[in-house]
Homo-oligomer: A and B are copies of this chain.
Amino acid sequence: MFRNTFSSSDNQVLSNSAIDFYIRIQEELNVDIGLQKIGYLWLMDEMQISRSEPYLGRMEANGVEITRYTRGELEHLLPMMVTGFGADEEAALMSLPPVDGGIFGKKCGRLDPDKLVRYYAQDFVKAGGKFAFNTDVRMLQVGPSNPLGVEGEPFVWQDHRIDGILAHGNVDETLSAETVILAGGAWMNELLEPMGIESHVKSKKRQLFSVSARGEKLEGLLRTKGFNSLGLAPMIILPKAGVHFKPVSDEGVFWVACEDEVKQPFINLPSHDLQSYHAEMSYYERSVYPILASYFPDFRTSRLKAMWAGLYAYNTVDKLPFAFKDENLIVVGGDSGSGIMKGDSLGRIVDALYRDETEAVLYGDVSYRVSKVGFENRDVQREEWVI
């Protein structure tokens, strides 16, 4: 998914430029990356709307296209939605807010990550780059910048650099490079902690549930008109616990997820605990579904078709991305659930870091100071508009 509707001006710039580039790939270069501008729709009660106003103002001032919907307009566009719960005991138990209005982000939607990555990969190979797929990087070896040939180097009085990359798999050797770029997502700590470098990344399990819509009552919701030129429902975010769903029209399903923070453990080293990252039916049934079906009762008659779990890698400092250089190592990550939608911009920032330039030029000739997303002189505006 991608969106440019952030309260943080840094997130606005980073996402907007990257999205522009993706739109160019799809629409100008005619390379299909599955991009669909379905839009994002946040449903809110009055309190949430008034709390959002300062952030919406900031978005509008910076040219982010948003539309405000009243409750009446939403009831017209989404007639199957429940907007108020009256004396409903279950809704009261869950403290479900009514739907008093909605905020719609236009330059938001979905794309196909595999297809997007293939586009970049082809360009990289054309430029002479090589891939080693199915290969684990086991360790980054630290050595002295000026080796003395003495065992136990580097000592505390020596400068140091990465002088080897232990790889295992299709490539099974010690690689070396003048500059090493690490973009390891949730797996970052496995390589950085042994070197005493802090990435500020920890992960939580996130689950995705696929619910059949084709031939079901839900198909009406999936084919909702009025939000985009595709005649599809937008990504919809409910006013409780970040429960949200998006139409995957080619599969005839909705993907449902939830932004919960409660009780989900932080994972520091994913490899220590791999078997526990499976999706849980009970999580859907008892935590997600009760909220979902209260607002959209059509979900009651549809069955769960599939479910997955994966790692959501947080930058635990401020949930914004980072890129920094430490000797001959560049580390980039911390995308906190919005990796793809800022990926192109972060790539250009890494390129500038590599060239020791202080300003990166993002797509669309947008200048961005590289040190803003480092940790030493970090200068990013915190994000207040989270799903």
Contacts and interface: CB of A to CB of B under 8 A. Distances in A.
Interface of A: 93-96, 142, 148, 152, 154-158, 160, 189, 192-198, 200, 202, 204, 240-241, 243, 258, 260-269, 272, 282, 286-288, 290-291, 314, 316-317
A142 B290 CA distance: 21
B265 A268 contact: no
A268 B287 CA distance: 30
Contact of A287 (B156, B262, B314): B156
Contact of A200 (B193, B288, B316): B316
Given A157-B240, A202-B198, A142 B317 contact: no
A145 B171 CA distance: 53
Copies in the complex: 2
A158 B160 CA distance: 50
Given A94-B158, A157-B290, 20 more contacts: A154-B263, A155-B290, A156-B241, A156-B243, A156-B258, A157-B240, A157-B287, A158-B262, A193-B265, A193-B267, A193-B268, A195-B265, A196-B261, A196-B263, A196-B265, A197-B266, A198-B314, A198-B316, A200-B200, A272-B272
A189 B282 CA distance: 27
Nearest to A242: B156
A156 B202 CA distance: 20
Nearest to A152: B286
A260 B272 CA distance: 28
Binding site secondary structure of chain A: loop
Given A94-B157, A157-B287, A241-B157, A282 B152 contact: yes
B316 A196 contact: no
Nearest to A266: B193
A244 to B, nearest CB: 12
A138 to B, nearest CB: 15
A8 to B, nearest CB: 16
A285 to B, nearest CB: 10
15 contacts: A93-B148, A142-B263, A152-B282, A155-B287, A156-B241, A156-B243, A157-B241, A189-B268, A192-B266, A193-B266, A193-B267, A196-B261, A196-B263, A196-B264, A272-B272
A192 B267 CA distance: 11
A243 B157 CA distance: 10
A194 B262 contact: no
A45 to B, nearest CB: 14
